[in-house]
Structure 1
């Protein structure tokens, strides 16, 4: 999928919403537990109720791997159920070298047919390069994340007073392009998004942290949007767990619609 194809979906839906499909069997509505595959039934209802608002879906692999082989079967069914025009992201945060990275890439891009995968940059170019060898696929490199512990390393400055995340952004542009590489930038970082955008003006940013983590959608758009939107803003818990009752699908739709309506206005403000 090209950046133009992603942007076409953004324009069509007036939305840059990515929904995290992170199903915890302990949190899904209790009435689903009688189903043969409760998590797939849950995912299916979330997709059915939010497909008009979401341009991307992002399953976090941990939630599926924790269920063992049956969880990976559920993930495969979920991916098969998703419409082909939506952008699919494996939130797997892989990061190894050589043949190991190459096999990870084959697993996620050839076997599971994801459009993108999150990758940790710590081990350098030879850990990221194998993922970039697949045409039409994307690496989403961790740059400036929204978790509290991100300050442990990502904000450490080098001798030129440049924070580590900025070094990652600058160095990695020699590995990939704005047509096969995106960056994870947390919404809770506010004005730091402006600094990121100066360094990578044309790349898409995957932005978690809006909703349950308290990030501001308006700030993300103000500091991060470019002429092609350039943003995929993720919401997980705020949408998929909007209700624990039988109306969970409708509740998810209400939350997604509220975000989409805000995104539509921001697109008109900053992207036209």
Structure 2
């Protein structure tokens, strides 16, 4: 299956739009992992979270910075390999927000898809078409383009008027009309902006959204689901990282993560369309 087919299958198999972000911050790890080497602790923590939540999610999203800061790129590769080996139906979105001139972008694509074995990659569209094409050319993989992000400073540039529309809408329009030729694009649309999300859904049609900002960032689940879902009740990959990962710092950390994931999935499903 290609990335979009895999995502469609995962949505239905788990009855879930929830994505768990794998942001392993060793300073917040539970006590049982403190006796391990920091790099080994990262891998063991990730495996415990994955085993506890695999039937509740439609995707996992490892954030590369949390691994690179610890020189734990090997553990990132091992984490993705663990998902692919044990839960091969669950897509992995590598969150690294790459974007550069074409020749460099091709190397970033090789890093994500060949070195790490990710199913999809987050990409910054700021450099334009020639910087995105090396990613979208991997037709079987997903390209998740920043559109309207969840952080407070997003408005500094993303809301600027460009030819009669905000820049984020121009990005959505460009992706939908020109860059999604292989049907493998997604858009990053923050949970903290449901009105903007609704506008992007009208522009983007059925293109899936990766939605950060749920949980620790305070996104309104009801508002975002109603604004961003497709008529089939799908189309959203709603990410929660810290709220799930660090639900407990005791021996029960994996069980606590599962409980938060269960509750988050149930909350999301409460507002989904059921055709």
Counterpart contact for 1:49–1:249, Cα < 8 Å: yes
Q: Which residue of 2 aligns with 1:59?
A: 62
Shift in Å at residue 99 of structure 1? 1.0
Which among 92, 104, 128 is matched to residue 132 of structure 2? 128
Q: Which residue of 2 aligns with 1:157?
A: 161
Shift in Å at residue 8 of structure 1? 2.2
Within 5 Å, give how 1:135-146 maps onto structure 2. 135-146=139-150
Partners of 2:253 and 2:230 in 1: CA distance: 34
Counterpart contact for 1:143–1:183, Cα < 8 Å: yes
Q: Alignment length, in residue pairs?
A: 267
Partners of 1:196 and 1:116 in 2: CA distance: 21
Shift in Å at residue 4 of structure 1? 3.7
Q: Using structure 2 for the length normalisation, give the TM-score.
A: 0.93
Shift in Å at residue 271 of structure 1? 4.1
Shift in Å at residue 252 of structure 1? 0.3
Shift in Å at residue 170 of structure 1? 1.1
Which structure 1 segments of 5+ residues have no match?
Answer: none
Which structure 2 segments of 5+ residues have no match?
Answer: none
CA distances 1:184-238 after superposition (whole Å, capped 9, x unpaired): 0000002211101000011000000011111011111101111341000000001
Q: Using structure 1 for the length normalisation, give the TM-score.
A: 0.94
Q: Which residue of 1 aligns with 2:173?
A: 170
Does residue 1:50 correspond to 2:73, yes or no?
A: no
CA distances 1:27-83 after superposition (whole Å, capped 9, x unpaired): 111320212411111111101111110110000000000011xx0111111111112
Does residue 1:265 correspond to 2:270, yes or no?
A: yes
Counterpart contact for 2:62–2:95, Cα < 8 Å: yes
RMSD: 1.3
Q: Which residue of 2 aligns with 1:118?
A: 122
Q: Which residue of 2 aligns with 1:95?
A: 99
When structure 1 is superposed on structure 2, of 95-104 and 34-43 the one drifting more is 34-43
Counterpart contact for 1:226–1:271, Cα < 8 Å: no
Does residue 1:250 correspond to 2:255, yes or no?
A: yes
Q: Which residue of 2 aligns with 1:12?
A: 13
Does residue 1:233 correspond to 2:234, yes or no?
A: no
CA distances 1:141-188 after superposition (whole Å, capped 9, x unpaired): 00000101111100011242x101011111223022472100000000
SS of the residue 1:245 aligns to:
coil
Does residue 1:75 correspond to 2:79, yes or no?
A: no
Shift in Å at residue 2 of structure 1? 4.2
Where in structure 1 do 4 or more consecutive aligned residues deviate above 3 Å? none
